Amino acid sequence: MNYEQALAYINDKDKYGSRLGLASVGMLLDNLGNPHKGLKYLHVGGTNGKGSTSAYLASIISEGGYKVGLYTSPYLEKFTERIQINGLDIPEEDLGRITEMVKSAADKMVTEGIEHPTTFEIVTAIAFVYYNEQNVDYVVLEVGLGGRFDSTNIIDESLASIITTIDYDHVDVLGDTIGEIAYQKAGIIKKGGLVISYPQLEEAEKVLITVSNELGADFIKVNVDNLTISEQTYKGSVFSFKYGDTTLDDLSICMLGEYQIYNAATAITTILELRERKKIDISDSHIYSGLKKTKWKGRLEVLRENPIFLIDGAHNLQGITHLAKAIKLFSYNRLIIGMGVLKDKDYTHMIETLVPLADSVVVTEVNMPRKLKAEILAKEVSRICDDVIIEPDVGKAVKKAYEMAEEGDMILFGGSLYLIGEVRTKANLLFS
């Protein structure tokens, strides 16, 4: 297969929908010779912050001279972003070659009367094969959905189960209480393993501790009381953090928002605890340089400075709340919000949190079947903002918002990760 054929095959398997459970991906990997076995994993789950925390971890470990794989989802602009080694996407030719291998393994399942693997199972298998072939030292493995029955949880053990902030999302699949959702996220905790947890709501933390105790895993909560923020601007943040006998002063990150500081602290806690346990050899200087170099496209990312053009992938209420707080880091005259959401999200409360900050809103549509129609979204937005423009085409919405903005204004596009990938591409073309 070439790259285009591989993408066509992968995308075609969307027709099988999503399927939580490990039996199918287990059989697929068995047909491939179990490439996931023998690798060292840092397994990252949670509701928000998984991608950023994973990026921090991968960057720090890479700075230590290791070969580190990073598996994330979804991608923003190009599929190969999902499977990286030391910041480099999987080459197109490797994706095509490995996809053909996975297709053969999947076809074998079908001939045996077994259901065809889903898209996520196929992509996860591709990643495992690639990392095995490349003989990586570590894999930072981001959970797709939930944790307990997510395809990435096929791994037998991990160096650490890192759980970022837990909140309401995918309630139709994971449960409609924080406790139920936390139980699904806690599924990545391994027997006798190590758990690093972002500070959680009490109900979520109680579940994580209970599951950790049942499995004899060490539960460590990131201690934000040992974190001191000295600077926050639209360029980044400076903070100090103490863990055990290690004090790290004047750490610098370029990712924006207070929550990114806490994500960084989660990554630091993980690295220092693994260092203490002799599982990794990382110096303090590697932590400093790794954090400073970490970038994560689409998370409070400034594409242009005058007028400010900001994009963010917040797609649930907690993420939108963080976004609304982070907007205060910027100085601007008028705020023009571009917004598109998926119909299965809590978009009413997202609108109530973000739209009151806007002077104008350009309503658009996410380019996928689960999109909320622009007319429906506009009706909800109009309850709060008087100046609402409907433009379903994302490229035209980007152009319209840019034309509306004057010097000193700010444009913000958000509401869905699936939206901002296209926004990023269209905006950069517009600016070029």
Average pLDDT over residues 401-430: 94
CA distance 425 to 429: 6
Mean pLDDT, to the nearest integer, of 15-37? 89
Q: What was the pLDDT predicted at 170?
A: 57
Q: 49: Cβ–Cβ under 8 A, 6 or more apart, which residues?
A: 164, 165, 198, 259, 262, 263, 266
Residue 276 has pLDDT above 60, yes or no: yes
Q: How far is CA 56 from CA 11, 52, 186, 217, 418, in A?
A: 29, 6, 21, 24, 22
Kindly report, as residue ranges, where domains of CATH 3.90.190.20 are found in the chain: 301-431
Percent of the chain predicted with pLDDT > 90: 84
Distance in angstroms (rounded) separating the CA atoms of residues 198 and 262:
8
For residue 192, the model assigns a pLDDT of: 97
Q: Hey, what amino acid is at 414?
A: G
Q: What is the pLDDT of residue 12?
A: 86
Q: What is the pLDDT of residue 249?
A: 98
**Cβ(322)–Cβ(314) under 8 Å?**
yes
Q: Where in the chain do CATH 3.40.1190.10 domains reside?
A: 3-293
pLDDT of 118 reads 93
CATH number at 3-293: 3.40.1190.10
Asked whether the predicted pLDDT for residue 432 surpasses 90, the reply is no
* Residue range 301-431 in CATH 3.90.190.20: yes
User: Residue 135: is its pLDDT beyond 70?
Assistant: yes
- Would the pLDDT of 368 be above 90? no
Q: What's the mean pLDDT in 88-99?
A: 98
Q: If you average pLDDT over residues 304-327, what whole number do you get? A: 90
Q: And the tokens for 2?
A: 């070439």
pLDDT per residue as tens digits for the range 198-217: 999 999 999 999 999 999 99
Q: Name the more confident of 328 and 286.
A: 286
pTM to 2 decimal places: 0.91
